[in-house]
Structure 1
Amino acid sequence: MRPRPSGTRGTRTGSRLFLAYAAASLVSVIALGAVLLQGAREDADSRGRDQGLAQAAVIEEMSVAPALDGADLNIGLSATQRDRLQASTDLAIFHGSVIRLRLRSFSGKVVFSDDGSTVGGVPANHRAFRAAAIGHPDVEVVPDAERSIGQVIRVLVPVIAGASGQAIGVLELYLPYESIAAHLQDQMRRAYLRLGAGLLGLYVVLALISWSTTRSLRRHAARREHEALHDGLTGLPNRDAFRQRAEHALDAAVRGSDDGAIVIVDLDRFKEVNDTLGHHAGDELLRIVARRLAAAVRSDDVVARLGGDEFGLVLPGLGAEQAHALLARVRDAVSQEITLDGVPLTIEASFGIALYPKHGHSIEELLRRADAAMYQGKRGASRIVLYSGEDAAAPTQWLVVQAELRHAIERDELVLFYQPKVRLADGSTYGVEALVRWQHPQRGLLPPPEFLPAAEQSGLIEPLTAWVLRRALSDQAQWTAAGRPWSVSVNVSARNLEAPGFARSVALALEEFGTPPERLTIEVTETAMAGDARTAVQVLGELAALGVDVAVDDFGIGYTCLSQLRTLAVREIKIDREFVRGIEDDAQDRAIVRSVIELAHGLGCRVTAEGVETAQAQRWLVDAGCDDAQGYLFARPAPWAELLERTDPADTATPTAVSAPQHAKGLVR
């Protein structure tokens, strides 16, 4: 599968974020620079005013006030006072350190000026003049109104003359500002350069931070986008990504491009790997399968993990035959032997195919039909199944079946049929096997294959088995009262053996109905014992300790090894009908059945042949030493009341007749 680029959307978003952040930073830096420059200018102006105020204070204190000792500005200056004042200020006027000078009374009258004029100046009602008149100097940089060029520093300070310390008037000075302005301009130029360099450096730092941050955000966004659309364990696209790409392929097919296939892949017996080797081995198995799937398909195909041990494939441009051929190669690649924790394993998988748009025009419909085909493959011989219609898919809708079955147990819609178990030595019936049926309100009477797989895949098998056990013991009490002391056999699954307290629940049921333990047989298939063997041995031992008989059902098609069988508390071995059916014509089947009979007798077990349908098969089994039999030759499964009508009490074996055969060496423990 060709990898597709990830994170493009995050890269575009990160670039836009960086540009926006850089622009915002530039605006902020410019605004900050403007504020700082304005502050620097105001600071420079303040220093200029302070300098002018200091100079005016010196002139007032050193030149003007000494010349006015005893003066009263309201009545004017004496000639001596005027001459002293003129002499003390001429030098400052001459050198240009003072542009103009006016001495004014509190009423605003010009008492003395450097040019002899008695008019002009700041009006007496001006804020600055009034402030100076009450002892608060005022300084301001103003345009030179008289020369109409440049700016001057205008200072108004109170005049303190004599030892009294009382103000006698207001001194109005105009000081040159050009030199101060030039000095300030030089200072501002240097400040501009320093501030500009600092702001440029700040902007560069902010830009680097922004670039680094947005790059990290782009990486994070790309990673999050990848994680959102990919499985963390295998690295394959997840269910959401699978749906997106499947919808894209379906849209292309609708627009007239090549058709294709949606495939559901499910690993067989994956739970056993988890239960036996641990979840770490299961995770490693999923990673290996993911790599093999991705390597086996074409570069334009899509492989995704949908969840658990289920994978999905999108195969664009393939018809039914082409898809089947490709999946056969994929199956061969996946099924190559691997070793996990030192255990060699061969992986098997089931493939369900739905073609688009032939089998559906929506992803949900295609997935549902591919899933139905996949479950059909799990039940059949072929592991690659093409969807063939709703009728074939109906039994696979386990979710619906499970929901209905739960209500069926609550509403008592289940019924039990019984098949007699016959002693071959005399043809008498000594027991029956309980077989559950479902009287469905819409679909009629359903056989076990229609609903038991759904129960096996969920927790429903436990309440279902509990219902069968209690109903069988209840029915047994009634046929015993009617003169038929038959034992009853009840089938249990691996889930029942693994459920805590199963043996205890059987003991409680026996006690409730007053049933002798030896009149109950628990039948367990070989496949049920192949899962958690240790638990199976323990639970079957507990049942045997209660006095309950244990039978191995469908013997010969499962995985029970001889060493395991030797440790089980088994009293009966039932030969699978597949071998019994062929004993009339197949020498190999006859050899297998004869070997199983000898093996079982050697281990101290009775042998029951299932599926006996002809008198010829019965005679051969008798000659081979088989103990008991079941099959259509004797009776078909039916409600127990019907079996009472078909059987004669004289043909019923007594409970002692079902004990272990005389040639047995003892009960297997």
Structure 2
Amino acid sequence: MWKRRVRPRVRSTSRLFATFAVASLVPVVALGALVLQDYTRDAAEQGRAQGLAQADVITQMVVAPALNSGDTPTLGGDDLSRRGLTADQHDRMREATRLAVFNGSVQHLRLRGFSGRVIFSDDGSSSSGVPVSDPDFQAASNGEPRARVIMGRTRTIRVMQPMFAGATGQSVGVVEVYLPYQEIADRLEQQVSHTFWRIGGGLAVLYVLLALLAWLTTRSLRRYAADQRYNALHDALTGLPNRTAFRTWVEERLDRATRDGGHGAMVLVDLNRFKEVNDTLGHHAGDELLREVSVRFRDSLGPDDILARLGGDEFALLLPGRDRTDAVALLEQARARLTEEMVLDGVPLSIEASFGIALYPEHGHHMEELKQRADAAMYQGKRGTMDIVVYSGEQAAQPHQWLVVQAELRHALERDELILHYQPKVGVSDGTVRAVEALVRWQHPERGLVPPGDFLPAAEHSGLIVPLTEWVLRRALTDQLGWTAAGKRWVVSVNVSARNLEVPGFPGLVAGLLAEHRTAPHWLMLEVTETALAGDTDTVQRAIAELSALGVGISVDDFGAGYTSLSHLRGMPVAEIKIDRAFVKDVAHDPQSRAIVRSVIELAHGLGSRVTAEGVETAEVYRWLIEAGCDEAQGYLIGRPVPWPQVEPDFSLPVIDYSEGFVR
């Protein structure tokens, strides 16, 4: 597709070369014509000079001797018009000129006085000739010879040559000589012809060199322009189209789909834990990873599919003509290819990615609209357990609104608009409250009480999660002092994200807050999501080890919903495992859920950890948990999140009849 876009550029450079060739030809031809004109003029001047020289020779060697030889007195300083010639001089002149005319060196010769009178003529005529008023005659009368080429049936050189007296050196008349010019002209034309071909050949070579230089320059410019255009539209690292090219492609395809009723999908892809590769193996390994990922993506796509790198570890795809099923099937193949093990710097890696899909025209008709919704679906997948997520309307987060949420949340921290509610966790065996989980709420001045799902994702993907978590810890420990003073011995649980654990000094922050509130570490439980543990980074592992060494309890939240394996839990100082509500809610009637929950309970007890079931909403589920040996329960059956003074279990504890061996 992009090759077709380059062709107009090629045609324009061809036109540029043709224009340059024609434009350079004009001055070359003009230069050649000017040089030829100058040379022709010089040749004509040379012909006149030869005529003057020949006329001077004739005057000196023919006319003057004829007039000054023999017994006749030599020429004096008088005008020949007054004196004329003697018969003897006239005969010698005739004899001399007859020989010259016969030899062809002279066509016609006259000797004239200053008055114009013909003193002698080779043909005996005494009329015609150059008028006295002619500038050439006047110049010759004043002692200055003149020559002119006369174009007639035959080309002739007319020379007006002054006649000087032999003794005095004064001009006494004018010799009017007509000399044959054809031979001179032929010789000059031959010289001009030779010169023309030499000059023409030289100019032709010059033109060819200029044209070759122009062609080479144009080709270089064309290649440079093509390279610049390619670089402007492609990613230098992977060779994939960049954000600008992708936008152009998408807009063209969407316009075409709008006209023709077509459909397709836009996909945004973000690599998981790419930062860890850069941090641990270096940026060169990260670059190699991106190149390998781009190759694997390309191998998984069809000929009409478009792949681009938007920047960092973010990629985008446009899948024309593919519906929801086709798009998901294609991305599952791409994901399988992507997760194949690769080796970077001797380290085997398996890369994963999150895919967000927006369909057109179902989810939008414009580039930005589809991109926002694909982005929302992708981040929904990052927060959940699905790698491939199709946009599902308002249920998906809107990352493009997060900037606004983040700005307002900063002000909320400054203005103390956040509050904590607490949900109780009870011992399954006796129903007493053993711990409470701190859940943050936002008392927005305009929107009222905002649930955490509306602002925590924005905080988790920015630096705000750090001060927000510190605020929750500080407020929870302060509230704990209040219920402890009221005789309530409850452990407080606070949720922390992987980003908190990755911040240097987080264990020290927790230790400082415990010391500030004079709270024993075992009265604090930090709940870490299973997904955070799946990262298995050295920083997270080190932070958990330091917190456990302080005496703070570590709880694995939402167990079963993420990617944690037994290898992650082995050797991990875990005090509590919380079973995800997705498995707990169906234990009353789903054999598979019951099997999973029983296995988790046995696993946790084998690791020396307590087990808490989340999402307990019915007495039937609660009774089953008692039989399964679960340690603690949490959910709406037991109590909803409320301010700490209102925390009390609001359900009737099922009676355990040990004599009968069942729960009533």
> How high is the TM-score relative to the length of structure 2?
0.76
Helix, strand or coil for the counterpart of 2:303?
Answer: coil
Helix, strand or coil for the counterpart of 1:285?
Answer: helix
Q: Do 2:51 and 2:179's aligned partners in 1 also have CA atoms closer than 8 Å?
A: yes
Q: Do 2:425 and 2:437's aligned partners in 1 also have CA atoms closer than 8 Å?
A: no
Structure 1 residue 240 displacement after superposition: 3.6
Counterpart Cα distance in 2 of 1:515 and 1:383: 42
Aligned pair 1:575/2:577, yes or no? yes
Helix, strand or coil for the counterpart of 1:597?
Answer: coil
Q: Do 2:548 and 2:554's aligned partners in 1 also have CA atoms closer than 8 Å?
A: no
Helix, strand or coil for the counterpart of 1:232?
Answer: coil
Counterpart Cα distance in 2 of 1:487 and 1:276: 37
Q: Do 1:7 and 1:223's aligned partners in 2 also have CA atoms closer than 8 Å?
A: no
Helix, strand or coil for the counterpart of 2:175?
Answer: strand
1:230-259 Cα shifts (integer Å, max 9, x gaps): 333333333344344434443443344553
Q: Do 1:56 and 1:155's aligned partners in 2 also have CA atoms closer than 8 Å?
A: yes
1:283-298 correspondence runs (5 A):
283-298=287-302
Aligned residues: 618
Aligned pair 1:382/2:386, yes or no? yes
Q: Which range moves more in the overlay, 236-245 or 610-619?
A: 610-619
1:168-194 Cα shifts (integer Å, max 9, x gaps): 444333221011111122223333443
Helix, strand or coil for the counterpart of 1:349?
Answer: strand
1:317 to 321, 324, 328: 321
Counterpart Cα distance in 2 of 1:589 and 1:197: 96
Q: Which amino acid aligns with 2:287?
A: D
1:463-522 Cα shifts (integer Å, max 9, x gaps): 4345546666777888899999999776554444555676787799899xx655867969
**Which residue of the partner structure matches residue 156 of structure 1?**
160
Structure 1 residue 415 displacement after superposition: 0.7
**Which residue of the partner structure matches residue 392 of structure 1?**
395
Helix, strand or coil for the counterpart of 1:233?
Answer: coil
Helix, strand or coil for the counterpart of 2:34?
Answer: helix
2:603 to 592, 599, 602: 592
Percent identity of paired positions between Structure 1 and Structure 2: 48
Two-structure CA RMSD over aligned residues (Å): 4.6
**Which residue of the partner structure matches residue 37 of structure 2?**
38
Structure 1 residue 207 displacement after superposition: 4.3
1:211-248 Cα shifts (integer Å, max 9, x gaps): 44444444444444444443333333333443444344
1:151-190 correspondence runs (5 A):
151-162=155-166, 164-190=168-194
1:519-539 Cα shifts (integer Å, max 9, x gaps): 796947376577695555777
Q: Which amino acid aligns with 1:46?
A: E
Q: Which amino acid aligns with 2:406?
A: L
Structure with the greater relative contact order (CA < 8 A, sep ≥ 6): 1 or 2?
Answer: 1
Helix, strand or coil for the counterpart of 2:340?
Answer: coil
Q: Do 2:493 and 2:527's aligned partners in 1 also have CA atoms closer than 8 Å?
A: no
Aligned pair 1:54/2:62, yes or no? no
Aligned pair 1:279/2:283, yes or no? yes
Counterpart Cα distance in 1 of 2:132 and 2:505: 113
1:253-272 correspondence runs (5 A):
253-256=257-260, 258-272=262-276
Counterpart Cα distance in 2 of 1:47 and 1:76: 36
Q: Do 2:502 and 2:540's aligned partners in 1 also have CA atoms closer than 8 Å?
A: yes
1:340 to 335, 341, 344: 344
1:370 to 364, 374, 378: 374
Q: Do 2:62 and 2:96's aligned partners in 1 also have CA atoms closer than 8 Å?
A: yes
Q: Do 2:578 and 2:611's aligned partners in 1 also have CA atoms closer than 8 Å?
A: no
**Which residue of the partner structure matches residue 130 of structure 2?**
122
1:394-436 Cα shifts (integer Å, max 9, x gaps): x2x1231232222232243641305389898999999976543
1:139 to 133, 137, 147: 147
Q: Which range moves more in the overlay, 524-533 or 23-32?
A: 524-533
> How high is the TM-score relative to the length of structure 1?
0.75
User: Runs of 5+ in structure 2 lacking a partner?
Assistant: 69-73, 589-593, 649-664
Q: Do 1:414 and 1:438's aligned partners in 2 also have CA atoms closer than 8 Å?
A: yes
**Which residue of the partner structure matches residue 100 of structure 2?**
92
1:534-561 Cα shifts (integer Å, max 9, x gaps): 555777899899xx76553426667699
Q: Which amino acid aligns with 2:315?
A: F
**Which residue of the partner structure matches residue 416 of structure 1?**
419
Counterpart Cα distance in 2 of 1:207 and 1:78: 70
Counterpart Cα distance in 2 of 1:166 and 1:494: 123
Q: Do 1:493 and 1:528's aligned partners in 2 also have CA atoms closer than 8 Å?
A: yes
Counterpart Cα distance in 2 of 1:204 and 1:574: 87
Q: Do 1:301 and 1:314's aligned partners in 2 also have CA atoms closer than 8 Å?
A: yes
Counterpart Cα distance in 1 of 2:113 and 2:281: 112
Counterpart Cα distance in 2 of 1:37 and 1:560: 94
1:432-451 correspondence runs (5 A):
434-441=438-445, 443-451=447-455
**Which residue of the partner structure matches residue 8 of structure 2?**
9
